[in-house]
Structure 1
């Protein structure tokens, strides 16, 4: 398989260039569907079946498996996504390019390189007549970057009868794969006060901003760095003028945590904080919820990691694993008890930024690793 992939390197880069030069921001349905159409054709060309799950506003999702395989038979779920964080027109402004050992362009590492990697890993297995390709089901979703609002149910549905889930977010900069991710909650805190002129009759006012300040301090007190719990108030807004006691203020709150047990405790703490006010006459309302469960490192995960690391050793690819605070679809499969490993894509960095890049010398080794991992897991 290594020889085959080395022979295909130029074609892999051409495919990557094609994908990167198509805008596919999460809110750009037309662009995401263009990526979907390209990927659908690639898989149909190798005799794979592609089912489209239509969406009204976001891009359509794709379900891919080998033709004539009973849908209940695949034991390995591979998760990828076609959307990026970049606005329409970005690909024209800074198209795919190569400088030294790095490839650049919008979404090049998160995760268009992984779309190519999965496709060529499947091709490598086919080229070597490996029956393991029949054990694989691939989801290409359209809204991972905005919280998987329409794809979560699909992911959970297709994960339930699988033995393993492989998630193709990029590897860390040092090549590590991801064995644990913190869960995530998003909340909007709204405070209603009473307006008054701050110079003429301030005593008649009830400051929403003042109450918001108290609430922000109380929310930050939930943070426990040692336990992996972190609260961040990233956006605040309020008031109408500098000489008016504010009657309205809002804050956007991001919460991260390591375990599902912590999530329940955080919910209780937030409810307690919102049960009373410090500024008489103000009202508070907290909307939102936990939108990504944590990906916890379980005993089953450890067994999957040992297989991947053993395969890596056989290929002279040293694999280590790490925890990260960022979210991904790996959380949805992990919380169902499916052994899940993330970060199996190629190596790169600066995702979501103009300088996002792929380390070119990782492209073939990581694709080869994926192909051999699939083949090994199919035997389990």
Structure 2
């Protein structure tokens, strides 16, 4: 029965290839820059209409300081534990980028802003659901969560991350349709991202006439930058980076202000408080008497931890890929964040980067392999049909 359903679902994808490409083009050419709330919200309305036409109960989750998100579901009365499909509709690109770099296909590759990250993934999720519906799949509920502010790390909107945790709880598995990799890697772990600003206030003075009256903010922050870099612990998977530094006005004045922006990558959710505490301790130190230091938390994105459940789901995905003739996938970890971390925090085994395969996301060279749009849709369909309830 399952084999026959898979075959028919795959035939559905083959029959609707042009339709999938047309939707891909429409989504890429629809602006949705993460810092342009209006454009993200407009795309949310468009997607809501598309998803409702599939037959899903769909709602837009509205936010004041970030792009809106979408939650859709159907089959809530089905007897087995449900599946989460997740991803995001916002991109990193500025408004009007699509006008100068529209969707196009050249030599088997699709180009355009967000074509890889992750408009193609949205198409895969929607058509996997449509194909499953077409063959009468009715074993598990399916929930679709699409964020409108993933590219900013939900920095202005903590509720955007909490949405995934709250909506995913109690489900049996989750698939995140982020950027796929050309080497057939499937993401089973991601580092978390924590970002801070450290500011020092000093006392300005003329460097020639009265240097002793000054209190150098740059001197103070220089000591602290070294302290910050020394917090890196490769064995524990934590690395600190003082990425940008600003300070002073002219060379013949003692600087009364300096600022450093800090990026931290980490692998364990439990390390969040420890990271902040260590930076607070550095901020509380004084090397140059008369200076004051302020630490501000800008953004926190949790890591995707590689749990037993994650690896059990990966093994199912690997066996499925071999079964349907798409070759062996391998478990991959990366430093970039995604909302897959939040579904894992919710206790749901999750694999990430099951979207279209390609390279150079976040750049004008971003591309995706066209054939991977159809291959990955079939892959997800087969994984859903092969799912068991004993992943955790």
Range into which the TM-score falls when normalised by the shorter chain: over 0.9
| Alignment counterpart, residue 316 of structure 1, candidates 307, 325, 331 | 325
Answer whether contact 1:240 1:246 (CA < 8 A) is retained.
yes
Which residue does 1:332 correspond to in 2? 342
Alignment partner of 1:25 is 2:25: no
Alignment of 1:164-203 (within 5 A): 164-203=173-212
CA deviations 1:211-230 (Å, max 9, x no partner) are 11111111001113343221
Which residue does 2:6 correspond to in 1? none
Q: 1:72 to 1:222 in 2, by over 3 A?
A: farther
Counterpart secondary structure, 1:241: coil
Alignment of 1:127-206 (within 5 A): 127-132=134-139, 134-148=140-154, 149=157, 150-206=159-215
CA deviations 1:277-333 (Å, max 9, x no partner) are 221221112111761222111111111111111111111222111110001111112
| Alignment counterpart, residue 112 of structure 2, candidates 95, 99, 105 | 105
CA deviations 1:152-200 (Å, max 9, x no partner) are 1211110122122211111223121100011111111011111000111
Q: How many Å apart are 1:79 and its aligned residue?
A: 1.1
Counterpart secondary structure, 2:338: coil
Instruction: Name the count of aligned residue pairs.
Output: 378
CA deviations 1:105-136 (Å, max 9, x no partner) are 0000111001100011111111211114x521
Q: How many Å apart are 1:251 and its aligned residue?
A: 0.9
Counterpart secondary structure, 2:385: helix
Alignment partner of 1:88 is 2:88: no
CA distance in 1, matches of 2:193, 2:65: 24
TM-score (norm 1): 0.94
CA distance in 1, matches of 2:32, 2:79: 31
Counterpart secondary structure, 2:178: coil
Which residue does 1:364 correspond to in 2? 374
TM-score (norm 2): 0.91
Which residue does 1:5 correspond to in 2? 13
Counterpart secondary structure, 2:209: coil
Q: How many Å apart are 1:58 and its aligned residue?
A: 2.8
Answer whether contact 1:26 1:146 (CA < 8 A) is retained.
yes
Answer whether contact 1:74 1:137 (CA < 8 A) is retained.
no
CA deviations 1:53-102 (Å, max 9, x no partner) are 22334332211112x63599762111111111111111111110111021
Unpaired segments ≥5 residues, structure 2: 1-8
